[in-house]
Amino acid sequence: MRPVAIVGIGRTKFGAFPDRDLRSLGIEASQKCLEDAGVKPEQVEAFYLGNFAGPSFVGQNHLAPYIAGGVGITGVPTTRFEAACASGGSSFFHAFSGVAAGLYDVVLVTGVEKMTSQPTPKVAEILAGAGDVSGEGKAGATFAALFAMIARRHMHQYGTTHEQMAMVAVKNHSNAAKNPYAHMRKVITLEQALAGKLIAEPLTIYDCSLISDGAASVLLVPLERASEFAGKPVRVAGIAQTSDFFSLDQREDITSFAAVTNAAEKAYKAAGVTAKDIQFAELHDCFTIAEIMATEDLGFVKKGEGGPYVQQGCTLLGGPRPVNPSGGLKAKGHPVGATGVAQICEVTEQIRGAAGERQVRNHDIGLAQNIGGSGATAVVTVLCAV
């Protein structure tokens, strides 16, 4: 295994773009990334596409060569990776593995989703496909309902409050307001978040991430070749993808995702770090409770202390360990297949010290955590300055 660096990133703005199709979003992010790295399409040796449900959202499948061809990449492996909301993270994990193992030198990873062309009930139905349709789904449990159950249990077990969850939303909206790529650049108050329309008790609309269109790309190369490329390199210090039993009823404890703790342990070990070394993180806040759980599962705090951690301001942009400086899935947006790759873009940009208004203070080592479904898939990545 050889060291691997990110030498290019590219993103579209996230949002609702009725005039843009999935392909054009994927091509835009890919091209911006190649430009950042100073790489021509014909130099790309493999193309990894993260996409959750293009066929269901827009009726187009076989998306990897469809987008790659539009970028001018042919004659190489082009493959779509699907792992629900961790599709982006999974495509990045496999691409990293390919470069680390010496299979390829120049690999482009793009994540993309185009969700807003479908009405919201249809979007919810498509998203439900990431969970156990014949079990949880048949019982009427949407993802909001599943995470509401998780939230209720977390509240019961650890005294976590809905106010603490709402604080995640307030923080992430505040961060997104500073992010030109974010879907929703609107600051909200705690009162607003608490008084939001109820989606699945105790979760209000402000506890839920957004339905978005968007794409993100990164370019991976061996660290030893990083100086040949235009983009300031950031090292992939450690990464792991793991899995768990599929539905919540198969888990011993629904207030923790075993796949996340497992992936974190492996990623930390590969990077030679512990949780306390992580200076900032992009976490998978599909629902606000998920960010709280992630800070626990990743070992930032002990189990049950995620609520007080956000309440004490520890995860604020100016706090001791900023979480979701991008605005997270909550406010930056959550175009599913793009999310895991966009997290890597954000951590890279932060480590480069190029995040502008939303730049975190200590930015030598950051983490991205991406989950699929209700935690059946998890990808954890540690990035660090070169």
Does 202 contact a copy of itself by CB under 8 A?
no
As measured in angstroms, the least distance from the Cβ of 112 to a copy of itself is 13
Does 250 contact a copy of itself by CB under 8 A?
yes
For residue 381, CA distances in Å to 237, 262, 278, 368, 385 come to 8, 12, 11, 5, 14
Does 227 contact a copy of itself by CB under 8 A?
no
**Contact indicator for 273, 314 with CB cutoff of 8 Å:** no
Task: Select the span of 122-130, 286-294, 323-331, 361-369 touching a copy of itself (CB under 8 A).
Answer: 122-130
Q: Where do we find the tokens 């392909």? A: 23
Choose among 214, 203, 252: nearest CA to 375.
252
Q: What is the DSSP letter of 327?
A: -
Task: Reply yes or no on whether 85 is catalytic.
Answer: yes
* Total residues found in the chain within this entry: 386
* Candidate residues 28, 45, 113, 132; the one interacting with a copy of itself per rule CB under 8 A: 132
Does 246 contact a copy of itself by CB under 8 A?
yes
> Which of these is catalytic: 33, 85, 345, 384?
85
Does 8 contact a copy of itself by CB under 8 A?
no
Does 118 contact a copy of itself by CB under 8 A?
no
> Which of these is catalytic: 162, 173, 334, 363?
334
Does 129 contact a copy of itself by CB under 8 A?
yes
* Candidate residues 5, 36, 41, 66; the one interacting with a copy of itself per rule CB under 8 A: 66
* Candidate residues 24, 43, 97, 312; the one interacting with a copy of itself per rule CB under 8 A: 97
Q: Where do we find the tokens 């208004």? A: 357
Q: What is the DSSP letter of 233?
A: P
Does 136 contact a copy of itself by CB under 8 A?
no
Does 103 contact a copy of itself by CB under 8 A?
yes
As measured in angstroms, the least distance from the Cβ of 128 to a copy of itself is 8
CA 292 – CA 157 distance, rounded (Å)? 14
Q: What is the dihedral of CA 280, 281, 286, 288, to 10 degrees?
A: -30
**Residue 356 DSSP SS3:** helix
CA 85 – CA 50 distance, rounded (Å)? 9
Does 209 contact a copy of itself by CB under 8 A?
no
What b/e readout covers 142-177, taking b as 16+ CB neighbours within 10 angstroms? Answer: bbbbbbbbbbbbbbeebebebebbbbbbbbbbbbbb
CA 50 – CA 20 distance, rounded (Å)? 18
Task: Select the span of 81-89, 116-124, 149-157, 323-331 touching a copy of itself (CB under 8 A).
Answer: 81-89
Does 77 contact a copy of itself by CB under 8 A?
yes
Task: Reply yes or no on whether 384 is catalytic.
Answer: no
Q: Where do we find the tokens 């019961």? A: 156
* Candidate residues 12, 217, 241, 348; the one interacting with a copy of itself per rule CB under 8 A: 241
Choose among 240, 217, 256: nearest CA to 382.
240
Q: Which is nearer to a copy of itself, 38 or 55 (CB)?
A: 55
Residue positions annotated with a catalytic role: 85, 334
The contact set with a copy of itself (CB under 8 A) reads: 1, 21, 47, 52-53, 55-56, 59-66, 68-70, 73-84, 90, 93-94, 97-98, 101-103, 126, 129-134, 240-246, 250, 258-259, 262, 372-373, 376-377
